[in-house]
A and B are shown apart, each in its own frame.
Chain A
Amino acid sequence: MYKVVKKTRIADVVTLLEIEAPALAKKARAGQFVIVRLNEKSERIPLTLANWDAAAGTITIIFQHAGRSTHELADVQEGGEIRDVVGPLGTATEIENYGTVVCVGGGIGVAVLKPIAKALKEAGNTVISIIGARDKSLIILEDEMREASSELFITTDNGSYGRQGFVSNVLTDLIAEGRKIDLVFAIGPVPMMRVVADLTKQHGLRTVVSLDSVMIDGTGMCGGCRVTVGGETKFTCVDGPDFDAHQVDWAELVMRKKTYAHQEKCQLDAYKGGKG
Chain B
Amino acid sequence: MGKEIGIREEMPRQAPEVRRCNFDEVALGYSVEQAVGEAKRCLQCKKKPCVAGCPVEVDIPAFVHLIAEEKFLEAAKSLKTTNALPAICGRVCPQEEQCEQLCVLGKRDQPIAIGRLERFAADYEAANVDPAGKCDVTDRRPPVANMGKVAIVGSGPAGLTAAGELACMGYDVTIMEALHDPGGVLAYGIPPFRLPRTILNREIDYVRSLGVTIETNAIVGKLYTLRELLNEGYDAVFVGTGAGLPQFMKIPGENLNGVYSANEYLTRINLMKAYKYPEYPTPVRVGKKVAVIGAGNVAMDAARCSLRMGAEEVSIVYRRSRAEMPARAEEIENAEEEGVKMDLLTAPIRFIGDDEGFLKAMECIRMELGEPDSSGRRRPVPMEGSNYIQEVDTAVIAIGQSPNPVVRQSEPDLQTTKWGGIITDEETGLTSIPGIYAGGDAVTGAATVITAMGAGKKAARAIDAYVREKKGL
Contacts and interface: CB of A to CB of B under 8 A. Distances in A.
Interface of A: 23-24, 27, 37, 41-44, 68-69, 83-89, 216-217, 219-224, 226-228, 233, 238, 252, 255-256, 258-260, 263-264, 266-267, 270
Nearest to A32: B222
A88 B219 CA distance: 8
A24 B223 contact: yes
14 contacts: A23-B218, A43-B282, A83-B180, A85-B217, A89-B219, A216-B272, A219-B179, A219-B244, A221-B246, A222-B267, A223-B246, A223-B261, A227-B255, A263-B283
Contact of B255 (A221, A222, A226): A226
A84 B216 contact: yes
Majority secondary structure of chain A interface residues (helix, strand, loop or mixed): mixed
Interface string B102-130: 00000000000000000000000000000
A27 B406 CA distance: 15
A223 B264 contact: yes
Given A217-B178, A222-B264, A224-B264, A258 B357 contact: yes
Max chain B CB contacts within 10 Å: which of A88, A219, A223? A223
B288 to A, nearest CB: 15
B222 A88 contact: yes
A263 B245 CA distance: 27
A44 B404 contact: no
Interface stretch (B12-20, B48-56, B273-281, B373-381): B273-281
Given A86-B223, A266-B278, 8 more contacts: A41-B281, A84-B216, A216-B272, A219-B178, A220-B244, A223-B264, A255-B356, A258-B357
Contact of A219 (B254, B257, B357, B404): B404
Nearest to B402: A220
The 3 nearest A-B residue pairs measured at CB: A255-B357, A222-B264, A263-B283
A44 B188 CA distance: 14
B180 A44 contact: yes
B328 interface: no
B222 A27 contact: yes
A223 B224 contact: no
Nearest to B216: A84
A252 B356 CA distance: 10
Interface string B243-265: 01110101000111110110110
Given A219-B178, A221-B245, A87 B261 contact: no
B160 to A, nearest CB: 18
Max chain A CB contacts within 10 Å: which of B250, B264, B273? B264
B219 A86 contact: yes
Contacts of B409: 238
Given A23-B224, A223-B248, A263-B283, A255 B257 contact: yes
B264 to A, nearest CB: 4
Contacts of B263: 221-223
B278 to A, nearest CB: 7
A260 B357 CA distance: 12
A108 B272 CA distance: 27
Given A216-B268, A221-B246, A270-B278, A27 B223 contact: yes
Contacts of B244: 217, 219-221
Given A216-B272, A220-B405, A238-B405, A258 B178 contact: no
Given A44-B180, A221-B267, A259-B285, A87 B222 contact: yes
Nearest to A252: B255
Contacts of A264: 283
Interface of B: 178-180, 188, 216-219, 222-224, 244-246, 248, 250, 254-258, 260-261, 263-264, 267-268, 271-273, 277-283, 285, 356-357, 404-406, 409
B267 A260 contact: no
A27 to B, nearest CB: 6
Nearest to B224: A23
Given A87-B222, A223-B263, A266-B278, A260 B283 contact: yes
A115 B396 CA distance: 38
A222 B246 contact: yes
Contacts of A86: 178-180, 217-219, 223
A249 to B, nearest CB: 8
B49 to A, nearest CB: 38
B261 A219 contact: no
Contacts of A41: 273, 279-281
B188 to A, nearest CB: 7
A220 B272 contact: no
A202 B20 CA distance: 56
Nearest to A21: B217
A264 B180 CA distance: 23
Nearest to A271: B281
A88 B280 contact: no
Given A220-B244, A266-B278, A267-B278, A259 B257 contact: yes
Given A23-B223, A86-B180, A220 B281 contact: no
Nearest to B273: A41
Contacts of B278: 266-267, 270
Contacts of B264: 216, 222-224
A230 to B, nearest CB: 14
Contacts of A258: 257, 356-357
Given A42-B281, A217-B179, A219-B244, A87 B405 contact: no
Contacts of A252: 255, 357
Contacts of B217: 84-86
A69 B272 CA distance: 14
A76 to B, nearest CB: 16
Contacts of B280: 41
Given A37-B180, A216-B267, A221 B357 contact: no
A121 to B, nearest CB: 25
Contacts of B356: 255, 258
A267 B282 CA distance: 10
Contacts of A270: 278
Contacts of B285: 259-260
A85 B285 CA distance: 26
A85 B180 CA distance: 9
B267 A220 contact: no
Max chain B CB contacts within 10 Å: which of A83, A227, A259, A270? A259
B272 A267 contact: no
B396 to A, nearest CB: 11
